[in-house]
Structure 1
């Protein structure tokens, strides 16, 4: 759908190019990631190291004199995720003027309003929107590739069918390009401004941008990728985290792209704002509405942003994307107190993305009996204000007035359904947290904490604080206390007569906690004595295993295995599969499910249908599984399938092959956290012949299948 005028004399056509502003970052990031992947360079590589190898004299500098070491700690991934550098937006140059070399802008250019680019935060610790990071990224790829970025990208864009898209930093004379307009109705000087290519400089039609998003979404779903976009690049780009990004945009931050939950759907998002232009895309890349989305481009400024937001609201109402509560859409946002450089992201955050619902685990429906002490528990009836993570089980369960229940056969989309608060594995922060507000302020005399039914996945520690509104700070109610699996814990408060209404619970470092009770002086003395003597006691043992099989078992005779191999002929077979004679030799930890399932030839059905270890807490910990192949072979490809491990796949993996008596490396230690709920493939390059493989996970986690492809 296109309408309106591109300039005073011409109407918009399907071929009209608009400045897509910061939407350029998504396309540029994807291209750079593919170039680095082909060169075998991890995105965790130091940027200054790559500049040194490329011959560039430019180096990132720390702008904090107390931390000069930050400069060499900046990685390519930090540039793509806004987690290191300064310079919110980049400035443009009138299209009728020559565009300066990128390195001149990096070092500071007073004429065009550029400050020197440098590090402002410890890399990787905090989100701070940085167009400057993408200036560095462009200079890096141009140094490494030996050509301007628009020249390097031309084949990439053509393979995606984006024939009207260009990253050229010039006036694009002769092209059908829209003119930029200010809110006053005046034309932008020079008809439009030219911006640094990857940061904000691409010109494209809405259809071209949509083609990129469709390809990215398809590559995320297919292990074979889509056109020039590999599966690995798509998955890593769309793996979001929050280091302050939700406050900025209401979304998580991937690599060069924002991501958001909309109930069961996952959305890829970016906004754009250049002088005289505004832009936005929203595309569902996973979930029941996968493949649906829209791109809105216009040549206006603040009024253009309001138009884009209203168009997004109309489209989302019409398409009915699940997980978007259109009843939450607003039209009354006041921008007076919002800084100019944040009005675009704040506007879209409040007018559009605030309507996206979190993807919560299943609600507990079958409650246990009411806790006999529920009437004394001041946390009952509290309202959860905020929570860092509740992907496994809802934070509200922690405050339930009912005794917890456990059904070993009950699984949901997020994994095992637990009547507790449970967070995902491998929290990168010291603790997970939740904040809730009680019905009324009260003094807390003692607390009770239960980890019932959590054994091997319980939190190791817990602390409780109350908000002191007078001092404006959190005050300790219970200092960090050690927790044990499937146990009841109690502690006296250290807050005396101080009354609190807002409570913060800190869970160290992650895991599950079943119930929390905050008692005042009205708790009967006999109950208080019983609770505190002893302060920790184990709950009666329980059986976590189901009484009926939840996974199909596969057994093959020697004759069946031989017949399977014969059918493959000279093709590739999964020699780790039991169907081709694969056998599990050993597994270091099978706490939740047996290793034999990872070699099943059947598609996995659930989290139980795979190998899962307990949560570990020791630094440097690892677990492994060893598989004997159906026959010795030179390994071509290894797939690890985490389809049903959406919250508890490993953080990293490493794979070795046994050749004779020597273990040889097949896959170096690799971060696989982004592949939760997905599959990752590794090319082994024909190493072998190997008789066995060993998959090592760091520090722990689960996988559904291990597949090893080779010619039998």
Structure 2
């Protein structure tokens, strides 16, 4: 990426002008708590931070959901989904969410275990026919679904960069063999399974292959039919369909330049598109585990299992099944963050207080926007906890 000073100055001017003529903030009213919530300081702090930080960091738009008492209290849409057309962000604007994809895909993988198609602690490799883990000094029979989803399986490949939309995707087998990585890194055992926590997007690609082998279905189709539609997540997909593109935000790089959407062979690891409305509902279910709303997708006790740490953990990380334990500002939450070129997202839940915040951004600098918003939310959570 060329760091052109003149283009940066021009873009800064454009963003400044935009800030003077916008930023609109729309709110989806959900239940009776929304009007009360709008009078509270956090609502106005999010609006203020959103308007200031999106301009400062070349992130055209964001969508923010706050969860209180296990329910969505408010959804705020700030800025633009597309600068050129002045299309505003709405609660139905579609964002790519990067590695938050792992958290959602884990529901599909664990559902396989509920259906009896796999067992969480059985070796994965014997179930595969299209590709196998290469032999090594490490014991591949210890690579299980539980360890894959908790990043304790000893597998390689941290993450993926994707391809420009419109290009032909390589197969899962080619990805596992390193064909989608510039450095040619294959998915293989880098350490003995079960001995340490080491983040592996490659493990989720292996789980994606496992799902396709066991269900005889394409991963995206299985997730849509068995997870998204039953949960009412009608605007969520691991594909960039034409219908999705109509409501999609445009992605922007670090300097605020529009970039092409990235598409992924490794959909389970990085390829999810969704709206703040759908993802906030998913977050609600992560907290309440309401059987009626779950619609037999997963049992409440299964979600509780997914939100339980899997050993070993380390200073580098700690995970349940799909859910990561994070410690920003010395406060432990559960959820996930995600970064792809042109996109950034964060989903944070405090199960003890049934609180949460989700922020979706259509800019590469989105973490510079969502982190201060997270900090403001955290102050409110701590204050509410102290008052009880």
Normalising by structure 1, we get a TM-score of 0.40
Shift of 1:113: 5.2
Partner Cα distance (1:135, 1:241) in 2: 20
1:44 aligns to what? 121
Q: Are the equivalent residues in 1 in contact too, given 2:345–2:359 (CA < 8 A)?
A: yes
Q: 3-state SS of the aligned residue for 2:191?
A: coil
1:5 to 70, 80, 87: 80
Q: Are the equivalent residues in 1 in contact too, given 2:230–2:294 (CA < 8 A)?
A: no
The 5 Å alignment of 1:511-590 reads none
Q: Does 1:136 align with 2:199?
A: no
Compared CA separation, residues 238 and 322, structure 1 to 2 (3 A): farther
Q: 3-state SS of the aligned residue for 2:121?
A: coil
1:72 to 141, 148, 161: 141
Q: 3-state SS of the aligned residue for 2:347?
A: strand
1:257 to 323, 337, 341: 323
Compared CA separation, residues 217 and 104, structure 1 to 2 (3 A): same
Gapped regions of structure 1 (runs ≥ 5): 325-712
1:281 aligns to what? 347
Q: Are the equivalent residues in 1 in contact too, given 2:251–2:261 (CA < 8 A)?
A: yes
Partner Cα distance (1:321, 1:163) in 2: 35
1:310 to 372, 375, 384: 372
The 5 Å alignment of 1:371-410 reads none
Bigger radius of gyration among the two: 1
Compared CA separation, residues 218 and 167, structure 1 to 2 (3 A): same
The 5 Å alignment of 1:320-469 reads 320=382
Work out which structure has the larger RCO, using CA pairs closer than 8 Å and 6 or more positions apart in sequence. 2
Compared CA separation, residues 294 and 114, structure 1 to 2 (3 A): farther
Partner Cα distance (1:136, 1:267) in 2: 27
Q: 3-state SS of the aligned residue for 2:82?
A: coil
Compared CA separation, residues 148 and 175, structure 1 to 2 (3 A): farther
Compared CA separation, residues 130 and 261, structure 1 to 2 (3 A): closer
Q: 3-state SS of the aligned residue for 1:2?
A: strand
Name whichever structure is richer in strand by fraction. 1
Report how many residues are paired.
303
2:253 to 173, 182, 185: 182
Q: Are the equivalent residues in 1 in contact too, given 2:97–2:271 (CA < 8 A)?
A: yes
Q: 3-state SS of the aligned residue for 1:60?
A: coil
Shift of 1:229: 2.0
Partner Cα distance (1:176, 1:77) in 2: 35
Shift of 1:50: 1.5
Shift of 1:217: 2.0
1:233 aligns to what? 302
Q: Does 1:148 align with 2:221?
A: no
Q: Are the equivalent residues in 1 in contact too, given 2:114–2:298 (CA < 8 A)?
A: no
1:496 aligns to what? none
Shift of 1:273: 0.7
Shift of 1:267: 3.5
Compared CA separation, residues 172 and 93, structure 1 to 2 (3 A): farther
Compared CA separation, residues 158 and 24, structure 1 to 2 (3 A): same
Q: Are the equivalent residues in 2 in contact too, given 1:169–1:201 (CA < 8 A)?
A: no
Q: 3-state SS of the aligned residue for 2:185?
A: coil
Q: Are the equivalent residues in 1 in contact too, given 2:235–2:244 (CA < 8 A)?
A: no
Q: Are the equivalent residues in 2 in contact too, given 1:215–1:229 (CA < 8 A)?
A: no
Compared CA separation, residues 113 and 204, structure 1 to 2 (3 A): farther
1:248 to 293, 305, 316: 316
Partner Cα distance (1:258, 1:93) in 2: 26
Shift of 1:28: 0.6
Gapped regions of structure 2 (runs ≥ 5): 1-75
Name whichever structure is richer in helix by fraction. 2
Q: 3-state SS of the aligned residue for 2:377?
A: helix
